[in-house]
């Protein structure tokens, strides 16, 4: 049994509102992950610039925030930062891809809703938004999708190279960090390939 036009409109509108709420939530989540990545990269930059002093500062921070009073290896803390960066980067890319899919989906919903109205209703996220896309917004989009991933790989490469130059008592920490680095680069490349070939 086919629903009436009024019922179809009601269902589509409700679904449109739900989808828009999901998009807003994903945008906030993506932005939080982006800020977390910048913070972790700043910590890594601190480690590169001042490898000896940064270890003590980070250790004191961990002791103050987590209440750890025992001896903690700075190499172990460095690996924890690497692991945290990998986790946040992967989650950032996952949310970014999910957000793109939700936008494509809401564009389809708008196409279904538009015939019920004339003018611009239900074109805000699709036709109306893309019709006069500002050059500034386009530039920011390029920063997010191309410059940021490239900068991320560059910063991570500087960090792993700096670690190989430091004297270490055990090869395990640098091996762990190197594996995480490779995984981070792989995740970034996969995301960039997705951006390049997305439809």
Q: What is the pLDDT of residues 30-58, one digit of tens each?
A: 999 999 999 999 999 999 998 878 888 88
Q: What is the mean pLDDT of the chain?
A: 84
Do 184 and 86 contact (CB within 8 A), yes or no?
yes
Lookup result for tokens 């951006």? 195
pLDDT > 90? residue 124: no
Main-chain phi, psi angles of 70, to 5 degrees = -80, -175
Burial state string for 89-121 with b = 16 or more CB within 10 A and e = fewer than 16: bbbbbebbeebeebeeebeebbeebbeeeeeee
C-alpha to C-alpha distance for 51 and 77, rounded to whole angstroms: 12
* Closest C-alpha among 164, 165, 184, 183 to residue 174: 164
C-alpha to C-alpha distance for 103 and 99, rounded to whole angstroms: 6
Residue 26 has which token pair?
């994903």
What is the pLDDT averaged over residues 103-109?
83
pLDDT > 60? residue 116: yes
H-type alpha helices, the chain:
5-49, 51-66, 74-113, 127-131, 135-142, 148-164, 172-197
Q: For the segment 61-93, what is each residue's pLDDT rounded down to a tens digit?
A: 877 777 766 677 888 889 999 999 999 999 999
pTM of the model: 0.85
Long-range contacts of 21-28 (CB under 8 A, 24+ apart): 22/102, 23/99, 23/102, 23/103, 23/106, 23/125, 26/95, 26/98, 26/99, 26/102, 27/99
Mean pLDDT is lowest, of 70-84, 100-114, 128-142, 147-161, for: 128-142
Share of residues in the chain with pLDDT > 70 (%): 84
Q: Evaluate the CA torsion angle 88, 179, 188, 95 in order and state its sign.
A: negative
Do 77 and 59 contact (CB within 8 A), yes or no?
yes
pLDDT band at 120 (very low <50, low <70, confident <90, very high): low
pLDDT band at 1 (very low <50, low <70, confident <90, very high): very low
Long-range contacts of 149-153 (CB under 8 A, 24+ apart): 149/188, 149/191, 149/192, 152/37, 152/41, 152/89, 152/184, 152/188, 153/184, 153/185, 153/188
Residue 193 has which token pair?
């390939």
């Amino acid at each position: 049994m086919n629903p009436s036009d009024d019922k179809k409109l009601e269902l589509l509108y409700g679904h449109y509102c739900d989808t828009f709420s999901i998009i807003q939530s994903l945008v906030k989540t993506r932005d939080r992950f982006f800020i977390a990545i910048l913070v972790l990269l700043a910590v890594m930059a601190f480690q590169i610039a001042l490898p000896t002093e940064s270890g003590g500062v980070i250790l004191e921070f961990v002791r103050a925030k987590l209440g750890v009073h025992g001896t903690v290896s700075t190499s172990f803390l460095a690996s924890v930062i690497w692991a945290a960066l990998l986790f946040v980067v992967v989650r950032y890319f996952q949310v970014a891809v999910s957000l793109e899919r939700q936008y494509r989906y809401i564009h389809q919903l708008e196409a279904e809703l538009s015939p019920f109205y004339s003018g611009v209703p239900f074109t805000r996220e699709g036709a109306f938004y893309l019709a006069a896309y500002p050059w500034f917004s386009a530039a920011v989009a390029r920063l997010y999708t191309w410059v940021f991933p490239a900068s991320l790989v560059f910063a991570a490469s500087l960090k792993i190279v700096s670690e190989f130059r430091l004297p270490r008592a055990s090869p395990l920490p640098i091996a762990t960090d190197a594996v995480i680095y490779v995984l981070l680069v792989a995740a970034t490349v996969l995301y960039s390939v997705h951006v390049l070939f997305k439809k």
